[in-house]
């Protein structure tokens, strides 16, 4: 079963949804038959490349003040903790994520699922836990190297145009698919489940899709918490 996960590395619900999906997979009988591919989505595509803004300031500007920003940050931090994640949003630096997505594309094409999933986890941890700038080329080079990308692939992204056209095509595909919030999970290219579902729901979806693949019928969409271009659902 192929599962494409459309997400951004600065989206809190994407990290929470990733961890919940992984928790579901731990108990899924056919885990070895699951192929995971991360696809790009940019919550803030207009962010200047190479620059960063403290996430509290970015949230205050977007959501109407620091009081609301603090409320959102506290809420997602509590929810993340319930999934075993320790967020430090007070450290987080909002940044343009295009380079991150291109490195993720390169990771999939050079090293397959294992390397891409590892890089995705490292980028999410860098942003939500360590406070690293995930738009900074030097930071990205270090993280990508730790995930196992070759120096040639890293240089191709950070110093050239490797993966640029492909990531742009994926971003356009997200629009064509009607994806306006992340995370969005697409199963077998046919069935879409938006949001950071809980692990039990993901387990039910996996088993239902497995059944539907055999029956060739339809799956009713579920709905969970997401981030859109304008807001992170609370």
pLDDT in tens, 82-130: 999 999 999 999 999 999 999 999 999 999 999 999 999 999 999 999 9
Into how many domains does the chain fold?
1
Q: What is the largest CA-CA distance in the chain?
A: 51
How far apart, in Å, are the Cα atoms of 161 and each of 38, 88, 99, 114, 154? 20, 32, 10, 23, 11
In a domain, 22, yes or no: yes
74 belongs to a structural domain: yes
- What's the domain range around 34? 2-228
**Any idea what the CATH number is for the domain that residue 163 is in?**
3.40.30.10
What single DSSP character describes residue 6?
Answer: E
Whether pLDDT at 225 is above 80: no
Tens digit of pLDDT for each residue in 18-45? 999 999 999 999 999 999 999 999 999 9
Residue 233 placed within a domain: no
Question: CB neighbours (10 Å) of residue 56?
Answer: 18
Residue 234 in domain: no
Q: Judge whether 183 lies within some domain.
A: yes
């Amino acid at each position: 079963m192929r599962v494409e996960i459309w997400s951004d590395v600065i989206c809190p619900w994407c990290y929470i949804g990733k961890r919940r999906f992984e928790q579901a997979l731990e108990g899924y009988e056919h885990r070895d038959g699951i192929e995971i591919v991360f696809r790009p989505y940019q919550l803030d595509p207009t962010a200047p490349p190479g620059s960063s803004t403290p996430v509290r300031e970015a949230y205050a500007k977007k959501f109407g003040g620091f009081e609301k920003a603090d409320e959102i940050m506290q809420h997602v931090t509590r929810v993340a903790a319930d999934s075993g994640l320790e967020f430090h949003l007070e450290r987080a630096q909002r940044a343009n994520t295009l380079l991150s997505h291109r490195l993720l594309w390169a990771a999939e094409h050079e090293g397959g699922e294992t390397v891409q999933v590892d890089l995705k986890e490292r980028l999410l941890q860098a942003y939500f836990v360590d406070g690293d700038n995930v738009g900074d080329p030097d930071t990205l080079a270090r993280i990508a190297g730790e995930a196992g990308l070759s120096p040639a692939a890293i240089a191709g992204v950070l110093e050239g145009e490797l993966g640029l056209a492909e990531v742009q095509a994926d971003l356009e595909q997200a629009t064509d698919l009607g994806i306006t919030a992340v995370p969005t999970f697409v199963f077998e290219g046919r069935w879409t489940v938006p949001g950071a579902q809980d692990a039990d729901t993901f387990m039910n979806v996996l088993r239902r899709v497995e059944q539907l693949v055999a029956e060739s019928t339809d799956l009713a969409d579920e709905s969970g918490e997401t981030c859109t271009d304008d807001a992170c659902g609370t």
